[in-house]
Amino acid sequence: MTERSKGKTVVIKTGDRFSNCVVIGFEAQVRFYNDKKQTKNLCLCKCDCGTNFTAHKYRLKNGSTTSCRDCKLKLNGSLKVIDIQGETFTYLTVIRRNGSINNGAALWLCKCKCGNELTTTKHQLSSGETKSCGCYSRTVAASKRVKLEGQIFGLLTIKEYLKNSKYVCLCTCGKEVIKKQQSLIEERTVLHCGSAICAAEPGFYGPILPLEEARTKGLIRYSDGKLCSRGHRSSKFVSTMGCVVCHRKTHKKYIENNPEKPAFYSKKSAARPKAKARRNAQLTERRTNDPIFRYTELTRSRLKKVLRSANFKKPSRTTETHRIRKELILVLERQGLSEKDLEKGKYELDHILPLCTFPWSSSEIGNGLVAITANSAPNLQFLTVEEHNKKTSEDALKYNWYNEALYHDHTDELIKKITEGQSLPSYFVGFEKKILAELLGTMGHPNE
C-alpha cells in the first residue's frame, strides 16, 4: 500500500515492524470535504501490549508513532529524553529530572541564580521562554531604567527610586510624594506636592526650556516662559507648539458640536473578539470569491513550511501578497487560463523546479533572493490534479525523496563557493559579500 504525503510516497507492507508495534492490515477512512468524498488509507497496527490501533503511514515511517496511546503515556517520553542535568540556561541550572507532563515531555527541577527553585521543560529552557524565576526580567528592567535621582522637575526634587517605575520626590515645602517616572518626564502630572500653597505658587507653570531641548528629551509638552496669543500661562505641545489650555477648550467645544461623532479607539481595538471575527469573515469571503488570493496564500504558506522545516528565519519582504499576485496573473496569461478556470477546482498550483532544489541557507538575504526566484512566474504553473500527482511521483523518484531529507542546509557550500570565487546562481550576483558576511556571522566564524 502507498500513500502520498507532503510530496513523498510512503510504502508499507503487512508485517512491517515499527519499534513497539506491527502492521497487521489496512483500514480506509472516508470523509467529506467541500462536498467531495475523500478516502484515506490508515494502517491497522498491533502494539506489543496486545492493543490494536490505527495510525497514519507517514507517522509510522518518521517514528512519531511507535506504540499505542496507553504505552506512550506510560513511557512518559523516557526513550526520547536527553539528559540535561547540570546544564545552565541563563540564570537556571538544572538539578535533576522531576517527572513528566501529560504528553510525556520530561520536567526538570532547576535552581535559579538567586536561590529559588522551579520546574519547567527542556523546550522552555532551550527556547529562552523560561530564563529565571522572574529575577532576570527585573534585572533587565533595572539596567534599562532612566536614572532620575537628583534631578528637579518643577517644585519636585527626585530623592530615591522605589519600584515599578516610581520615585520618591521631595517638594520645596518639605513634603514627600510618590510620582511615576514617565509622568514626570512628559509632565503628565502636577510637579508639586499638591498642597494649596505649592499649587498657588505664581512663578510655577512648568519647566522653561528651548523647543529643541524638549524634542531631544522626548517630551510631549514644554514651556518657553511666554504667554500664548490668548494670554494663557501654560505648557505647550512639542509637536505643534500650541497652548495646552487652548487645545482643551477647542476639543471640548468640538465634542459638544459633534455628539454623534464615533469615538476614537486605539490600535488595541483590533484585538477585540468582534474585530477578529469580522476579519476572519472577510478573509473567508475573499478566499471563496478570489481564487488568485487563495493561491497567493498557498504560495506563502509553502515557503513558511520550507523555512520552518530547515530551521531558518523567514526573510523580510519576500512573501508580499501583491508581488506574488502579479506573478500568478502572469502564469495565467502564459497558460491561456482565466480566474474562472481556477474556481472549478480543476487546477492546482505547482513549482516547476521543486523548492527543495534551491540553495536554502542561514542567510536571510540569500533566502529572500531564493524565495523571489522560486515563486516567480517562470517557476510556477497550473496543472490538473492528474498531471500534478504524476509530476509529484516523478519528482520523488528524481530527487530521491524516499531515502533522503527533503531540504538541505547549503550554508557551508555557499561559503566555499563565494570564498573560492566559484560561479553562483544569477539571483545571487551582486549580493555575494552581504551573504558571506551574514553566513559567517550566523556560524560564529573565527574570521568574521
- In tens, the pLDDT along 347-404 reads 889 999 998 888 988 888 888 888 889 999 999 999 998 898 888 888 888 888 777 7
Residue 95, pLDDT score: 92
Q: What's at 134, amino acid-wise?
A: G
**CB-based contact 113:91 (threshold 8 Å):** yes
Same domain, 70 and 162: no
Secondary structure class of 55 (helix, strand, coil): strand
Locate 183 and state its grid cell. Answer: 509622568
What does the block give as the cell for 76? Answer: 512518559
User: Which has more pLDDT, 260 or 106?
Assistant: 106
**Distance between start and end Cα atoms, the chain:** 52
> Radius of gyration (Cα) for the chain, nearest Å?
32
Query: Do 107 and 15 sit in the same domain of this protein?
Result: no
Position 280 in a domain: no
Unique residue bearing C-alpha cell 469615538: 263
Same domain for 95 and 205, yes or no, is no
pLDDT (tens digit, 9 = 90+) per residue, 229-288? 888 767 788 888 888 888 888 888 888 887 776 555 455 555 566 777 888 888 888 888
Distance set, CA 125 to CA 105, 120, 279, 349 (Å): 13, 7, 35, 40
For Cα atoms 345, 334, 376, give the angle at the middle one, nearest 5 degrees: 85
Q: What share of the chain is helix, strand, coil (3-state, %, to 5)?
A: 40, 20, 40
Copy the grid coordinates of residue 396. 520523488
Q: Are residues 164 and 300 in the same domain?
A: no
- The residue to which cell 507492507 is assigned: 13
- Taking all residues of the chain, what is their mean pLDDT, rounded to a whole number? 80
Domain with 59 in it: what CATH number?
Answer: 2.40.10
Residue 339 and residue 389 in one domain = yes
Is the pTM value of this prediction over 0.85? Answer: no
Domain range for residue 215?
A: 146-257
Output the pLDDT for position 3: 45
In 185-244 the beta strands, taken as DSSP E runs, fall at: 221-222, 236-237
Pairing of strands 176-180, 166-171: antiparallel
Of 54, 75, 96, the one marking the end of a domain is: 75
283 falls within a domain:
no
In a domain, 271, yes or no: no
Q: Which residue, chain included where needed, has cell 490600535?
A: 267
Residue 241 sits in the same domain as residue 107:
no
| 402 in the same domain as 330 | yes
Residue 443 has pLDDT above 60, yes or no: no
Same domain, yes or no, for 296 and 405? yes
pLDDT tens digits, residue range 174-228?
Answer: 788 898 887 887 777 888 777 655 664 444 445 567 788 777 777 777 777 778 8
Q: Is residue 284 part of a domain?
A: no
Q: 3-class secondary structure for 88-120?
A: EECCEEEEEEEEECCCCCEEEEEEECCCCEEEE
335 with 423, same domain? yes
Whether the predicted pLDDT of 105 surpasses 80 = no
- To the nearest 10°, the Cα dihedral for 135, 138, 144, 148? -130
> By the 8 A CB rule, do 26 and 41 touch?
yes
CA dihedral 400, 406, 409, 410 (to 10 degrees): 40
Instruction: Please count the structural domains in the chain.
Output: 4
**What whole-number distance in Å separates Cα of residue 354 and Cα of residue 352?**
6
Domain stops at, among 75, 110, 126: 75
Based on the fold, state whether residues 163 and 245 are members of the same structural domain.
Answer: yes
- 49, 75, 101 — which closes off a domain? 75
Do residue 294 and residue 385 come from a single domain?
Answer: yes
Kindly state whether residue 114 falls inside one of the protein's structural domains: yes
pLDDT above 90 for 26? no
* C-beta of residue 151 within 8 angstroms of C-beta of residue 185: no
- If asked whether residues 358 and 428 sit together in one domain, one would say yes
Q: Do the domain assignments include residue 184?
A: yes
> From CA 145, how far away is CA 329, in angstroms rounded?
52
Q: Residue 143 and residue 47: Cα distance in Å, rounded?
A: 56
Whether residue 95 is contained in a domain is answered as yes
